[in-house]
Amino acid sequence: MTGFRRGNTDYQICWIPLGGYVRLFGQNVMDEDANDPENYASKTVWQRFYILVAGPAMNLVFAFIFMPLVYLVGVDAPAYLSAPPVVQQVKVESFAASVGLQAGDEVIAVNGREVRNWRGLQSEWGTLTPADSLSLTVLRSGREVEVQSTMREVQNYGEVGWVPHIPAVIGVISSGSAAEEAGLEIGDRIMRLGGEDVGDWSDISRLVQQSQPLAPANPIPMTVELVRNGQTKLLELTPKYEPEVGRYLLGLQVGTERETYALGEAIGLGAERVIFMTQTTFNFLGQMLSGQGSTDDLGGPIRIGMFIGDAVRSGVGELFFLIAVISLQLGIFNLLPIPALDGGHIFFLLVEKIKGGPLSAATRERTQMLGFSVLLLMMVFVTYHDILSIAT
């Protein structure tokens, strides 16, 4: 452990930097002195409350600062959002099916307002309320068709029920995948797979699963006809069976586009994302406490380090997003009423306020040791879980 002293503050760096914390003079049971005006124990309950809340509050502030930067720098969105809103498929027993929408329909207006792509359609849809009427103008076989309904009817079905048409253009190729080994490249448009026409991205997975044996021992090679830079090419690839998902995969993903937003819009979107993630975090904590959560969603220092490495390689926006997420999680976690955390100290202040005096030093010391032991066990567990996930 190395460090230095400046004023009345000691700064130290541990040999294993797994985190950081601030220990106030007098916050430890062994050095508290209520008669020393510089001692933490001499402060009022409210003064100590403000001190304890300040750290987690700054974590939350950081989240609200960095998340808007993500949208300001730009976020990746599916490229099909810029394409005309053509319906590839209509789900059975859905709202879209009930009003007679068909595969191949192109939505050109919502309540009389023109839409040119899926992004514009989503934007117009987002302005509607359950009390609004709904009028869709679709282009079907060269003629316009009007569909009348209400947003309340959409809400009754739970979803619209249309599947967007997504061109079969490769946007991402996974490292070590069947697609990479076969020589496919980003930007290739797949025209035929295994001798069958590919008209939409959803056709790829369907054709792959249909062509392969139920037993994953001997995958069958498939021919791929694609267009690259205006030229048609024929390649051969062999899908890989992934036991985790129980399917044959090629290692392909749809293309993405980077969207940037103005400052005001970025602040609004960033705040909405932080609020949504906060709700999701508390829902997860509730599931874990009730025994319904999965430990697969837990991550420790090793996984966080891997995420940071991936984010740095991916770009500034991804790094800002990770900083915001980690800061938000730290802020929430530190407010949990676990002894040794700020939330535990705040809980003791609440007890002190109700009781009219602090708990005995022995009680606080025992609960602090218990809380520290729980945190240590949690750290060991998530680190062990990280190692297992990497190994498998």
Which span out of 21-35, 170-184, 344-358 was modeled with the highest average pLDDT?
Answer: 170-184
Hey, what domains does the chain have and what are their CATH numbers?
85-164 (2.30.42.10), 170-258 (2.30.42.10), 263-391 (no CATH)
pLDDT at 232 over 90: yes
Q: What is the pLDDT of residue 296?
A: 56
Is a pLDDT exceeding 80 seen at residue 90? yes
Q: How far apart are CA 58 and CA 167, in angstroms?
A: 44
pLDDT-derived band at 3 (thresholds 50, 70, 90) equals confident
Given a cut of 90, whether residue 143 has pLDDT beyond it is yes
Check residue 293 and give its pLDDT.
Answer: 56
pLDDT of residue 183: 93
* Alpha carbon distance 221, 194 (integer Å): 8
> pTM for this one?
0.60
Least confident of 6-15, 52-61, 69-78, 300-309: 300-309
In this structure, of 160-164, 193-197, 263-267, 387-391, the range with the lowest mean pLDDT score is: 387-391
Q: List, for residues 243-260, the tens digit of each pLDDT value.
A: 878 889 999 988 777 888
| Beta carbons within 8 Å of 232's beta carbon, 6+ residues apart | 191, 225, 226
CB of 166 within 8 A of CB of 200?
A: yes
Residue 302 in this model has a pLDDT that exceeds 70: no
Percent of the chain residues topping a pLDDT of 70: 88
pLDDT above 50 for 175: yes
Rounded Cα gap, residues 116 and 83, in angstroms: 8
Q: What is the pLDDT of residues 361-373, one digit of tens each?
A: 778 778 878 877 7
Residue 102: predicted pLDDT: 92
The confidence score (pLDDT) of residue 307 equals 52
Name the residue with higher pLDDT: 30 or 261. Answer: 261
What distance in Å separates the CA atoms of residue 134 and residue 188, rounded to the nearest whole number?
A: 38
The yes-or-no verdict on residue 227 having pLDDT over 90 is yes
For residue 239, give the nearest of 186, 306, 184, 200 by alpha carbon: 184
Quick one: average pLDDT of 282-307?
A: 61
